Amino acid sequence: MNIEQILKESISNAFQQLYGASLAEEEVALQPTRKEFEGSHTLVCFPFSRISKQNPEATATALGEYLQQHTDVVDRFNVVKGFLNLVISDKAWIAVFNVILQNNGQMAKKGEVMVEYSSPNTNKPLHLGHMRNIFLGWSVSEILEASGQQVTRVQIINDRGIHICKSMVAWKRYGEGATPESEGAKGDKFIGNYYVRYDREFKSEVAELIAGGQESAEAERNAPIFKEAQDMLLKWEKKDPEVYALWAKMNGWVYEGFNTTYKKMGVDFDKLYYESDTYLLGREEVLKGVEKGVFYKKDDGSVWVDLTDDGLDEKLLLRSDGTSVYMTQDIGTAILRYKDHPNINRQIYTVGNEQEYHFKVLFLILDKLGYSWARECYHLSYGMVDLPFGKMKSREGTVVDADDLIDEVIAKTREKTMELGKIDELSPEEAENLYRMLGLGALKYYLLRVDPKKRILFNPEESVDLQGNTGPFIQYTHARISSLLRKADALGVERKQHFACDKLTDIEKELVYRLSEFPERIQDAAREFSPSVIAQYAYDLAREYNKLWQNVIILKEEDETLREFRVALSAKIAEVISSALGLLGIESPVRM
């Protein structure tokens, strides 16, 4: 129970005693006290005059006097017009802290959800854009679990389509039998290089055709390498043995590369879905939809859905040659997931905001096909990650590779930490592990501290700063507390689970209040699908603790009870910081 709940119960009881009327919890409107007045919580009393039959100021005074005289919650109060400003007693703050110490953090179970994230194409390595997606989806999964929900983490691997065939064509033309092993390359980067090579050759062929007199659009359709990719896609859908074997081999190289990167990132999945499996189910559903009159065929054989009555437009579902589009496989994937996990009550798709229209259409189509759960599907939309040199383009090779970025940020944290001389007590192995923790912490925090809907301008240098709103600052605070706790243990300071202090500083009261907020912040973050709520909470808690560190004596406090309380408070703050960072996928070092 937090201080607001205690206050609301006390106020409701006071109202009952004074005026013989009960107040519902939502009627007790508490707000932070304005800085120019004493107190932490303010009760707005204007709405109660109709019950008390007194003016708001008299009502506030009567309530304040009752709370001060008959409860241990309010130490003193002041009234400004109809606003009752309350100063919470030290006993109340200690009572809240004692509850926090006893709380096991378990949340009531709320059902099952499925969260999709990553969803890469098998024609290129993971890059900075994927990283926001992956860290966001993984963190939201953690937060939902912490809020009491059962979560299944999945990804759909886009392993088919014209873009995959482009890499395959380029490798057949120019690979000369090369493999990741023969080139000493990571599998996904190896394939990504051929995707870039395809784009370069395609542009060259288009330029030649334009020079020969063709229009730009015509030249793009007639480029030999593009026609070869189209032909390969048709052969793949017909299960041509040679094409299928090449596809399986090249995808295998990519998967090995992806798994290495996922392990480096510290993320995982419960189940993988492959577009090459789900698009067939999607196609079956689309053809059933034609029979039901939900979709229609054009003269060229292509299948469409008309959504104009729903304020959208017409959408292609099957091409005239019978091949599937992205929407087709997404229909199949959604249905298959509910068959595999019939108890999930919501599917959450972590996909960039440029696909908002796509998901509006997808959910509407599923609803029209008769799947009632479609209305509970949710697109976790997020803004793009911008770079100083502009937008990333995979086919042009201008992306920021995920592996390279992780290595760069770790290198920057190594450099900064060594400059500050904070690694004297660490072995070389421990130091390298610390640099990894700080580097990944810096990267994850920087990408998660911003509301998902907002764009991010990524600044690696700023992300690793040990001061300000950064992951390393919060991690350093945790390490600082861990150091204090080791010293406290060496001094034999007892770790009690219950306190009866009667003299707290304002900083200590603020820290107890912030600790009490953590369960509520988890629920807020789960409701909003926003790790930024947890990131801001962790930063605020760490920043407030540093005020305690700088202004309050802890280990040298002569009053034994106060010393034990401050050590226990520090320990709980370290625990909550670690839990909050854990929800973001960030480790908490104990030495820095």
355: left (phi over 0), alpha (psi -120 to 50) or beta: alpha
> What does the pLDDT read at residue 209?
96
Query: Residue 398 has what pLDDT?
Result: 53
Tell me the mean pLDDT in the region 288-307: 95
Residue 140 has pLDDT above 60, yes or no: yes
Per the CB < 8 A criterion, the answer to whether 86 and 40 are in contact is yes
| Structure confidence by residue, pLDDT tens digits, 337-385 | 999 999 999 999 999 999 999 999 999 999 999 999 999 999 999 998 8
pLDDT of residue 399: 67
- The neighbouring-strand residues paired with 359 are none
What is the C-alpha to C-alpha distance for residues 487 and 481, in angstroms, rounded to an integer?
10
Query: Measuring CA to CA, which residue among 277, 306, 282 is closest to residue 368?
Result: 306
Instruction: Say how many C-beta atoms besides its own lie within 10 A of residue 538's C-beta.
Output: 32
| pTM, rounded to two decimals | 0.91
Average pLDDT over residues 103-112: 77
Q: Helix, strand, coil: what percent of the chain each, to 5?
A: 60, 10, 30
The pLDDT value recorded for residue 132 is 95
User: pLDDT for 374-414, tens place per residue?
Assistant: 999 999 999 988 876 544 344 444 568 899 999 989 999 99
User: For 25-76, how does the pLDDT look when each residue is reduced to its tens digit (9 = 90+)?
Assistant: 888 989 999 999 999 999 999 999 999 999 999 999 999 999 999 999 999 9
Q: How far is CA 568 from CA 101, 103, 244, in A?
A: 9, 14, 62
pLDDT tens-digit profile of 414-431?
Answer: 988 888 776 778 888 999
**How confident is the model at residue 322, as a pLDDT?**
80
> For residues 149 and 108, is the Cβ–Cβ distance under 8 A?
no
Mean pLDDT of 426-454: 94
pLDDT score, position 285: 94
> What rounded mean pLDDT belongs to the chain?
93
In angstroms, the CA 224 to CA 228 distance is 6
Residue 213 CB contacts under 8 Å (≥ 6 apart), including other chains: none
- Strand-pairing partners, residue 113, are 151, 346
Q: What share of the chain in percent tops pLDDT 70?
A: 97
3-state secondary structure of 103: coil
User: What pLDDT does 139 receive?
Assistant: 98
Please say if the pLDDT value at position 105 is more than 70: no
Residue pointed to by tokens 């995982």 = 268
What is the bridge-based pairing of β-strands 314-318 and 303-306? Answer: antiparallel
Angle at 92 between CA 87 and CA 93, to 5 degrees: 85
What local confidence, expressed as pLDDT, does residue 386 receive? 82
pLDDT tens digits for 527-552?
Answer: 999 999 999 999 999 999 999 999 99
Query: Given a cut of 80, is residue 106 above it in pLDDT?
Result: no
Q: Label the pairing between strands 271-274 and 296-297.
A: unpaired
Helix (H, G, I), strand (E, B) or coil at 271: strand
Task: With beta carbons less than 8 A apart as the criterion, state whether 529 and 348 touch.
Answer: yes
The span from the CA of 185 to the CA of 163, in Å, is: 21
Backbone CA torsion sign across 165, 167, 173, 177:
negative
Q: pLDDT class for 1, splitting at 50, 70, 90?
A: low
- Domains, the chain: 3-88 (3.30.1360.70), 159-268 (no CATH), 402-583 (1.10.730.10)
pLDDT of 24: 85
pLDDT tens-digit series, residues 239-269:
999 999 999 999 999 999 999 999 999 999 9
SS3 at position 380:
strand
Q: Average the pLDDT over 7-19 and give the result.
A: 94
Tell me which H or E stretch contains 522. helix 506-528
